[in-house]
Amino acid sequence: MSGRALTLYYEEPPLPFKPATRALFEFTSPTRFPLSLFDEELAKHVKKCRDDVYARVSYPCLGLYRFLEPGSRENPVYTQAIECIKQQPDTRRILDMGCGYAQDIRAWIQDGVPSTSIVGADLLLDFVEDSFELFADEKGKDHMYGVKFEHCDIFDEDHVNKVKELSHGGQGFDVIYIGSFLHLFEWSEFARESESIMRWKIQAADVQGRVFRAYTRADAQAQVARALSNLLSNAPGSLIFGRQSGMPPGQAGHYERHHRTGAMGGNSQAPWRHDPDSFIRLWQDEARGRQQLQGSGGWEVKPVLPNPAFNWAGFKDKDVQELSRKDLVQAFGTGLEFQIIRK
Ligand SMILES: C[S@@+](CC[C@H](N)C(=O)[O-])C[C@H]1O[C@@H](n2cnc3c(N)ncnc32)[C@H](O)[C@@H]1O
């Protein structure tokens, strides 16, 4: 682990693996990961790959093995989202923004979405490179043939426009998935009122010494919402869906980061965890801004807390003994699934 301190977000592989996890690995490499392979053997491989990456960038979703269960499949709109692409694969496109290990992209292909209709974008394409070792498949070959990956910092307009060019005719994506993405960034309702509060942008380096831009601007989530709107097709019914950490009603706000991620530069910013109402307000603001500029706008926003006690942070019995579940939710948040539909 390169001497990096372990955190609450660092776990052992969750054994036994779920049948869907085994099926995904069998799909990506039937010779390397046949269903007859013992779980323990697969676990050794998965842990080694995870640790190599976690030593560089300690995202909780890596520490908790979230990448073993593609989050998009858990969203109630999943079947509709992938059917939309499957029905018109020549013209419809789906984007995974902040795709990370690209496990969702592999799941979509396993579920019948043509690979040529899929685009993945991420600030750190290293994750995508690493994913070929994890899933033992090859870039541009077999099921991964036709998938396009693009380096993108969502705050960089040129990057965003380059990603948009990968949609059919550059007209925007029909479906965009964002998993554990928006919650990385800061939001302040006060920032809507006063541009002057928009603050600093910092330079930060990960443990390998590469420099990232990390964002602590109070309006970062508003910027991301604008960029996603720009990437989405203007056709009514176009869809953004995803999941992230959230808070029970009435408890939205800034919460201290309980971890330090390389990509965010280990800074002490406190990201905004939405409850359903604040999540709706974020998108209403985006629509209002667009209406003023372009005379068009409007979203149907459906945020759902799948279950108030949803174990977003992967609490273990030992954690629950030390803290009440309420305290754990306060500290780590609950889950938030959402659909944002263009009117
Ligand atoms: C917590 S991971 C989630 C990965 C994956 N979507 C999932 O659900 O497992 C967040 C991802 O967002 C990417 N990311 C962070 N900042 C970004 C930015 N400014 N622009 C684009 N991607 C970014 C990270 O590199 C990382 O792959």
pLDDT tens per residue across span 14-73: 999 999 999 999 999 999 999 999 999 999 999 999 999 888 877 778 888 989 989 999
179 CB near ligand 1 (under 6 Å): yes
State how beta strands 201-205 and 211-215 pair: antiparallel
User: Strand runs (DSSP E) across the chain, as ranges?
Assistant: 94-97, 118-122, 148-151, 175-179, 201-205, 211-215, 239-246, 253-254, 272-273, 299-304, 334-342
C-beta of residue 304 within 8 angstroms of C-beta of residue 335: no
Q: Is residue 203 scored above 60 in pLDDT?
A: no
Q: Is the CB of residue 180 below 6 angstroms from any atom belonging to ligand 1?
A: yes
Per the CB < 8 A criterion, the answer to whether 18 and 69 are in contact is yes
Q: Could you tell me the CATH number of the domain that includes residue 154?
A: 3.40.50.150
Query: CB of 153 closer than 6 A to ligand 1?
Result: yes
Identify whether 23 is part of a domain: no
Distance in Å, CA 46 to ligand 1 centroid: 20
Residue 280 has pLDDT above 90, yes or no: yes
Whether 195 is covered by a domain: the verdict is yes
**Mean pLDDT for the stretch of residues 277-295:** 89
User: Cβ(173)–Cβ(231) under 8 Å?
Assistant: yes
- Report whether pLDDT(196) > 50: no
What's the pLDDT at 256?
56
**Spacing, Cα 10 to ligand 1 middle (Å):** 18
Helix (H, G, I), strand (E, B) or coil at 204: strand
In a domain, 235, yes or no: yes
Give the model confidence (pLDDT) of 99-116 as tens digits: 999 999 999 999 999 999
Residue 280 CB–ligand 1 contact under 6 Å: no
Determine, yes or no, domain membership for 173: yes
For tokens 């390169």, the residue is: 2
Q: Give the dihedral sign, CA 55/61/63/67.
A: negative
Kindly state if the Cβ of 98 falls inside 6 Å of ligand 1. Answer: yes
Name the amino acid, one letter, at 277. Answer: D
Does the Cβ of 315 fall within 6 Å of ligand 1?
no
Q: For residue 154, give the ligand 1 atom closest to its CA.
A: 20
Which structural domain range is residue 202 located in? 71-342
Ligand 1 pocket, 105 CB below 6 A? no
Q: Which atom of ligand 1 is nearest to the CA of 99?
A: 6
Which ligand 1 atom is the nearest neighbour of the CA of 261? 1
Res. 291: pLDDT tops 60: yes
Residue 4 lies in a domain: no
The model's confidence at residue 212, banded by pLDDT at 50, 70 and 90, is: very low
pTM of this structure: 0.87
Q: How far apart are CA 50 and CA 54, in angstroms?
A: 6
The 10s digit of each residue's pLDDT in 155-170 is 899 999 999 999 999 9
User: Residue of the nearest CA to atom 19 in ligand 1?
Assistant: 153
User: 88 lies in a domain?
Assistant: yes
Ligand 1 site, residue 63, Cβ cutoff 6 A: no
Atom of ligand 1 nearest to the CA of 181: 10
Is the beta carbon of 127 within 6 A of some atom in ligand 1? yes
CA 42 to CA 54: how far, in whole Å?
A: 18
Does the beta carbon of 123 sit less than 6 angstroms from any atom of ligand 1? yes
- Confirm whether 175 is domain-assigned: yes
| Residue 177 located in a structural domain | yes
Number of domains in the chain: 1
Output b/e per residue, 279-306; b: 16+ Cβ within 10 A: bbbbbebbbebbeeeeeebebebbbbbb
122 Cα–ligand 1 center, Å: 6
